[in-house]
Every structure is written in C-alpha cells, then in structure tokens.
Chain A
Amino acid sequence: MRAVSTVPSALEPAAPQWRRRLRAERISRIGFAAAAGLSLVVVGLVILFLTINAWPAFVHIGLDHFFGSTTWDPEGANHHTQNLQPLPFFGSLTPIAGSAVAVILALVIAIPVGLALAIMIAETSRHVGERVLRPAIELFVGVPSIVYGYVGLVLLVPQLERFAPPGQSGQGFGAAAIVLGVMVVPTIATLSADALQAVPSSLREGSIALGATPWQTLRRVLIPAARAGIISGIVLGLARAMGEALAVALVIGGVARLPDLAGGLSFLLKPGMTMTTTITDGISNLGANPKAEAARYLLALVLLVITFACVTTVRVVQRRSEVIT
C-alpha cells in the first residue's frame, strides 16, 4: 500500500504572499467597477454641460417660444423690430418637424429593405446569408456616414434636380430620407436577422410540419416570435437616423423652412433643416451669438431625451419578450 500523502490538514493562515494576492483581488475589482461607472459619469457630464450651456435659452428665449414657434431665424436676418434692428427667432418646431419627417421617410425606406435582407440572411440559404450577406452588411456599417452624405450629394441630388422645380438644386427631404434610409438599413437588417435566427427551430419545423408554406411560417410564426429584436432594430435605426448630422447637412439644403406637407409630395424636392443640421450650422460662428448657441444646446438636450426614450423602449421591449418566452 502506498503512503497516504502527508499534507497538513489545517489550511495555512494568511501569509504575506496571500495578503498581496488578496489585495490585488480587491484593488482590481474596484478598478473594474470604477471603469464601468465611467459611462454613468460621462452621461452625467453630458446632461450637466448641455444643461449649463442651454440655460440662457431657458431664461432669455423661454420654452414657450422655443417649443411654440415655427420661425427659426437666430441671427434675425429676415425679421426686424420697428426701428429696423434684427429680431431673432428661435422656434425649434421647424427643425423638430424636419427631423421627424426625414426620419419617418427614412424608416419607410429602411424597414422593408432591412427586413428583406434579414430574411435573406436568416431564412434562405445559410451559406449565402452568413458568408456573403452578413459580411457585406458589416462592411456597409463601417462606411463613414459622411461618405453616404457625399454620395448623396454628387450622385443622388443631381438626379433629383431634374424633377425639381426651376431654381431648386434637388437637395431636400427626399434626398435626406434616401441617404438616411440607406444608412439605417444595416442596423435593422442585422438586429432582425439575429432575432430571426434566435427563434427555436422547433417552432419553424412545427409550422412547416402542419403544412404551412415558408412564407406563412415566416409571417405567422417567425416574425411574431422575433418581434422584440425587430422592434429593437427599428428603434435603434430611428435613433441613428435622428442623430446623423453631417451626411444630412450635405443633402437637405439647410433652409429654415417647415416641410410643406400640404402641397403633396413636392416637399420631397424642397430644402429644409433638421435638429442635427441646425446644431451643425452653429460651428461656423461659435461664440458669436450666445442666444443662438444656447438654443442649439437645448436642441442637443432634446436629442438626448429622444435617445433616452429609444434606449428605454428597447429595454422594455426586450424585457417583455423575456417574460413571455
């Protein structure tokens, strides 16, 4: 019989090297937690600095004017007091309406295309989907958004100009919507494809076994089952379209005018502005017009609130779907 190993049964007490290892353990844990907390600190700083800088807008412009007027003329170039002093207007309804119209149109384009691509990736040939489509879409995500704007300007706008009324360049809501739509397609496509692929194959096979066609299976089983992921993709796509600035600035024309929805589809070829392009415009004279600058910070705050809303929506949608499944 071999000897039973003679290891001391009492576990050794904390030696100096033990203390060192445990200290490293504690310190590293605190360090990791601090790094994670950095995000919270940054968000806090964003809220703080945007609010501080937007403060003059609360005081000197007033929320009733800011959210109540459709006239955006921060320099007072087109409006005068009775003694011919420039009279600035800071009505944010024009940029807000512009953003809303551009984003909704972009989603009208991007949702069908994104879903079609997602279905191609997830439900038709796996080989083509994972080997060709997904890498291609990842490549499109990587293309800087400003390049999309540039292409919209040199390729799309001249085409649109041919349909535009005389004197119009072709820049406008139509061009902005197409550029934004193309940019947002990959977001919707990848998240929806992930969601479709996450549906258990037993559901798919169960439906097919009942004699349903692939399309019926998709429409009645898979898309409802993947709803949370698809909605998340659309909401995040919306956030991305809402937040894109420079690409839109290149193609929307940058004129402070409400989208003229009453005049049929002609507004597509007329220039306008969005929240982001209005902020972008401020770059050329930072520090020159404090009130206008404060108004732009207030617009940035509005964008921040919309971002919060989008993130929260995604959270709620995802949590609901977890509860159900």
Chain B
Amino acid sequence: MSAEFRIQVAPEVVAAVNGEKLPAPAVETRGLDAWYGDFQSLRKVDFSAAKGRVTAIIGPSGCGKSTLLRALNRMNDLVPGYRTSGEMILEGSPAPTDPAGVIALRRRMGMLFQRPNPFPMSVFDNVAYGLRLERRWKKHDLDEPVERALTRAGLWEEVKDRLSRSALGLSGGQQQRLCLARSLAVDPQVILMDEPTSALDPIATLRVEELMREFRDEVTIIIVTHNMQQAARVSDVTAFMMMGAGRAGELVEINSTIDLFNRPSDRRTEDYITGRFG
C-alpha cells in the first residue's frame, strides 16, 4: 500500500482526515435487509452518514446503492412487494414507521434524482412547494424563504427576474439546482442524491459539486454515484457496496474517503477502485 494518493481528494477532506474527528452519525442503519418480492436486494447493511459531512456510496451497477438510498427516506415503500427489516436510526433515536412519522421523516430528508425534475409550474411555486404543504401562506411571506433557498442553491441571480415563469424553461443544470433549492426550502437535515449529475454537462456538474462542499456542516449529504472521481472529489466518507450471494447488495467497506481509496481494507474494494472489475 503506497502512501501517495491514487485519486485526488478535496483539500478539506485531507484536513479532516489529518486529525479531525468525524461528527456523530445523522443517519444509521443496522442490519438492514430489503426485498423486492422474493428477491433480496440488501443484506445486513450497516451504514452510517456523519452529520454535516458528505458520504458517497459507490459500487457496480445493481449492487443496491439506490435501494439503500431510497430505504433511508422510505421511498421504496411505494414499490409493490417491497419490504424491509433491520434498524434505522436518526440522530440516535429509531426512525418512525407510522404514516405521519414517515412524512415527517421525508420532510427532514431532501432528495435529488438522476434527471432534474422540476414540477411543471413556476420557479417560485417549485421552491415554495414544500412550505405550502404544511399550511397556507400569504404570498409575500414566502418571498423571503424562497429567495434564501434559491440563493443557497446558487440560482437566485439567474432566476430572480423569471420567478413566475415555468421552471421547465430552465437549462438542465439550472433545473437540477432548482430541485436542490426546492429541497433546501424546507430546511432538511439530510439530502439524498441519486447520481445527481449523471444527466448534466461537466460545468453544471462542477456547480453542483461546489454547492455540496458549501453545505458542509450545515447539511448531511448522502450521494450515490457511479463515478469514483466524483466520490473522491466531494465526499468525506465513502461506502463501497457489492452484490454478494444471491445478488443481494452488501456493504463491503465504509471508511474515510481518503483511506478507502488509498488503503482499502478489503480485497474486493481494491479490485473495484483499481478497475480490475465493475
């Protein structure tokens, strides 16, 4: 094992590894199993994401990365035949499973998808959507939170003159940042990202990655990516998943990004990051 980095890692991540202790986990799973019908998709997954840090989940396709991500905000509950067992812990206490609790949980966890998917309504209404779910607002009371969310997503300057026009007229990169602003508006503790830049061009990708770093300490980010460079660029911690027996996804290794990429403790992780398969 060589000491030099195989992959370039973000400077603050290097700083973090050199002495800084990871915060307590915002989200944890213990022995998480998941099935789609008879097919077991996740087996005994022990995952955790440190509060205010970026955790990347990498692994070959079909290894259950997205299933794990979607298990965290119970989005998979909508899939017919899906069931799950094991523990899920939010900030130290068990995650709720009752309908009201699940809705509250989803509200605390924003989600960003592969393709930007603004709702077919105005830019303003997109951002205000989450706020309006809980109660009625006077229109001008929303101005301030909407502006704040758009500013945090680095989009305010670009859209402030076209707030009332349809969000579908924005470019792909802008749409994805709008989706981010839509999540930020309800002040989530966690944002789940499912390959959020795979449909974006390199410049738009860079903007989104910059934003992820800006949210350090404020928001816990969990990102699924098939791009190892991206995981290295943006994440503090990386989890590597693979299909085990019966094609069920297993979490092979979770470690600080710098260690996982440079001193993998599992043979399979090393094979994967050195490109020997996958």
Contacts and interface: CB of A to CB of B under 8 A. Distances in A.
A5 B99 contact: no
A9 interface: yes
A22 B134 CA distance: 12
Interface in A1-38: 1-5, 7, 9-12, 14, 17-18, 21-22, 25
A25 B99 contact: yes
Nearest to B188: A7
Contact of B217 (A4, A17, A18, A25): A4
Contacts of A7: 108, 187, 189
Given A11-B96, A17-B135, A5 B101 contact: no
B253 to A, nearest CB: 27
A74 B271 CA distance: 86
Nearest to B99: A22
Interface of B is mostly: loop
Contact of A3 (B101, B187, B217, B219): B217
A12 B100 CA distance: 9
Contacts of B104: 11-12, 18
A7 B110 CA distance: 14
Contacts of A18: 100, 103-104
Interface string B14-26: 0000000001000
Contacts, number: 39
A25 B218 CA distance: 33
Contact of A2 (B105, B134, B189, B218): B218
Interface in B66-101: 90-93, 96, 99-101
Interface in B245-278: none
A9 B92 contact: yes
A71 B32 CA distance: 74
Nearest to B105: A11
A14 B101 CA distance: 8
Nearest to A7: B189
Nearest to B219: A5
Interface in B207-257: 216-219
Contact of A14 (B91, B92, B100): B100
B51 interface: yes
Nearest to A19: B100
A17 B134 contact: yes
A9 B105 CA distance: 10
A190 B102 CA distance: 44
A11 B135 CA distance: 18
Contacts of B99: 22, 25
A2 B91 contact: no
A26 to B, nearest CB: 9
A284 B109 CA distance: 68
A21 B134 CA distance: 9
Contacts of A5: 187, 189, 218-219
Contacts of B189: 5, 7
Contacts of A3: 217
A260 to B, nearest CB: 56
A226 to B, nearest CB: 28
A4 B91 CA distance: 13
Contacts of B103: 18, 21
B131 to A, nearest CB: 13
B129 to A, nearest CB: 15
B116 interface: no
Nearest to B134: A17
A203 to B, nearest CB: 25
B52 interface: yes
Contact of A10 (B23, B93, B187, B216): B93
Contacts of B90: 9, 11
A77 to B, nearest CB: 61
Contacts of A1: 217
A4 B52 contact: yes
A4 B135 contact: no
A4 B23 contact: yes
Interface string A55-81: 000000000000000000000000000
14 contacts: A1-B217, A2-B216, A3-B217, A4-B52, A4-B218, A5-B187, A5-B189, A9-B93, A11-B90, A11-B104, A11-B108, A17-B134, A17-B135, A22-B100
Given A9-B90, A9-B93, A10-B93, 13 more contacts: A2-B218, A5-B187, A5-B219, A7-B108, A11-B96, A11-B104, A11-B105, A12-B104, A17-B134, A18-B100, A18-B103, A18-B104, A22-B99
Which 5 pairs across A and B sit closest by C-beta, in order of nearness?
A9-B91, A11-B104, A2-B217, A18-B100, A14-B100
Interface of B: 23, 51-52, 90-93, 96, 99-101, 103-105, 108, 134-135, 187, 189, 216-219
